[in-house]
Structures are given as structure tokens and as C-alpha cells.
Amino acid sequence: MTTNGRVALRTQALTKVFRGFRAVDSVDLVVREGGVHALVGPNGAGKTTLFNLLTGFVAPTSGAIRVFDEDVTGKQPEQVARRGVARSFQITSLFETLTSREHVELALQGLTRQGFRFWRSEKLLGGNRTRVDDLLTQVGLMTLADKQVGLLAYGQKRALELALVLALDPRVMLLDEPTAGMGTEDVDRTIELVRRIAAGRTVVFVDHNMHVVGSLADRVTVLQQGKILAEGAYDEVRNDERVITAYLGEADHA
């Protein structure tokens, strides 16, 4: 991975308290530009909350967030997205009545102001046909492009999540469990896809599947009870005693 030393994402003493419960606790995270950074930790460790903080879906109790040295603390989700940070959701989050194609068309338009054109035909949205087809093909949804997503299978919806993030052509991608609930074959395809799209971007992803973490991540941060427990290269972290203890009782994931 190319690492030219710039910092893509940085949090400083980032903290989120939910009614006295410290879901994210003084997290200082540094993600280098061009890196593929995994965020792991047991259920409830605060990984998704951290993503929500980074993308403006949850306001921090204290601490700061910087994206390429710009302070984005307290910015709204759409403002964060407009700064080139795109995320996928752990719990699939789609527009139930629209088709996959319509999703991708919407996503391609998201960062422009073209969505305000109420006097034009929505056929315009399909104007970027090759790009839409390309994205759908990349995630393997081309044959199902015109099916309403409410009727898609779970794994297909996960794939569409990825396509939406990709469509934004982000500088930083935050993927929350991109392979959750997928069969082995799909997991491998997703690994390949993420590896391909990671080129020239910064990726942070959460995954419980250590095969995925091991194949993709050049750096791993372990979160436990809202705090950073360990950080380093995959092999370092994997053999860290504290990490092994933290994952005890979750042996099936290791």
C-alpha cells in the first residue's frame, strides 16, 4: 500500500457517552492516507459508534475529528460525505422501493447539485449509463439491476451497500462489516473487490472475520469497551496477549 505519510483521518480523545455509558472512550486514532485499516473488537466494543462519530451521524460528547487536517467535528453526515468520506452500514440501509440501478444513479448524483432539477426527467439520472453498469458489474448485481431491492437476498443487499460507497468515489471509505452474513465464496469476492477499490484510497473497515482482516488490513486497531486496546500490523496484534484475552469466549471468530 502506498503510504506517503499524510494523515487521512485523525481523532483526538474522541468520546461518546450514552447516558453515562462510555461507548467510545478517549480514542486517538490515526489512519494514514492510502492505508487499509481494520477496526476489530468484540460485540459492543464501540466500532459502529466510532463510525457514526466519524461520519457525523452521532455528535461526540468530547474530542475532535480531522479529515485531511480539516476539523470536521460536529459536521452533519452530508457535509462529511461532501468532504470525500463515504460509509457503508452494518445493518443494510437501502431505499426499499427503488431498484439497484436507481440506487446507484442516486449515489452518483449525491455529491452534485443536480438532484435539485425538479423540472427535468428522471431519465437524466440514467445518463451515466456506463458508469452505473460498471459499478453494478463490479459488485455482481448487473443481472438484478432492475429488481426492487426489497426483493433482493441479503448478500445482494450487502453488495449494493458497497456499490453505493464506491459510487461516491470517496477519498476515505468506512466499511462496517462488509462481509457480514456472506457465504465463503462471496466473502472472497468481497475481499478481492475491496482490495481493488482500495487502490488510491484510504479504507477503514470493521470485520469480525479474521480471514478478511488478515487478507486486507495493513494495520489493525483493536477496540474494547470503547477504548483502543492495541494497534499494529496484523501479525503483531494477533499475537498480543491482551487481544487474545479480549477475544476469549469469542474463539470461534479467531
Partner 1 sequence: MSQSTATPAPVTEAHPVVAAANPRLRWVLLAGGLVAALALPWFVYPPVAMDIVAMALFAIALDILLGYTGLLSFGHAAFWGSSAYVTGLIATNYGVPFPVAIIGGALFAMILALPAGYLSVRRSGIYFAMVTLAFAQMVYFVGYQWSGLTGGENGLQGVPRHFFGVELVETDSFYFYYAALPILLLGMWAAWRIVHSPFGRVLVSIRDNTQRARALGYEVDKYKVVAFVLSAGLTGLAGGVFAINHGFVALTELHWSTSGEVVLMTVLGGIGTLWGGVLGATLAVLLADYLASSGFDGIDLVTGSVFVLVVLLFRRGLWGTVRHQWLAWQQRRSSRRTRSGGGTRR
What residue ranges bind ligand ATP (CB under 6 A)? 18, 23, 41, 43-49, 90
**What Cα–Cα distance (Å) separates residue 191 from each residue in 78, 177, 237?**
27, 12, 20
Q: CB neighbours of 148 closer than 8 A, spacing ≥ 6? A: 96, 97, 98, 99
Cα dihedral 206/212/213/218 (nearest 10): -110
First to last CA, the chain: 25
Cβ-proximal residues to 200 (8 Å cutoff; 6+ apart), any chain: 2, 34
**Cα 101 to Cα 139: distance, rounded to the nearest angstrom:** 12
Smallest gap, in angstroms, from Cβ of residue 42 to Mg ion? 11
Q: Cα torsion for 76, 160, 188, 51, to the nearest 10°?
A: 10
Closer to ligand ATP by Cβ: residue 47 or 101: 47
Residue from 34, 41, 140, 226 touching partner 1 (CB under 8 A): that is 140
**Nearest distance, CB of residue 203 and ligand ATP, angstroms:** 17
Tell me the closest approach of the beta carbon of residue 141 to Mg ion, in angstroms. 24
49, interface contact from partner 1, ligand ATP, Mg ion, none, CB < 5-8 Å by kind: ligand ATP
Q: What angle do CA 10, 79, 61 make, to 5 degrees?
A: 55
36 part of the interface to partner 1, by CB under 8 A: no
Query: In this structure, are residues 60 and 15 in contact, taking their beta carbons and an 8 Å threshold?
Result: yes
**Residues making contact with Mg ion (CB under 5 A):** 47-48, 90
CB of 113 to ligand ATP, least distance (A): 32
Segment interacting with partner 1 (CB under 8 A) among 18-26, 27-35, 76-84, 232-240:
76-84
Could you say which of 71, 115, 199, 233 contacts partner 1 (CB under 8 A)? Answer: 115
Q: Does 122 bind partner 1 (CB under 8 A)?
A: yes
**Rounded to 5, what percent of the chain is helix, strand, coil?**
40, 25, 35
In this structure, what DSSP letter does residue 61 have? Answer: S
Q: Is 153 in the site for partner 1 (CB under 8 A)?
A: yes
Q: Judged by CB, which is closer to partner 1: 155, or 226?
A: 155
Positions that interact with partner 1 (CB under 8 A): 55, 57, 76-78, 81-82, 86-87, 89, 93-99, 102, 105-107, 109-111, 114-122, 124-125, 139-144, 146-148, 150-156, 158-159, 164, 168, 182-183, 185-186, 189-190
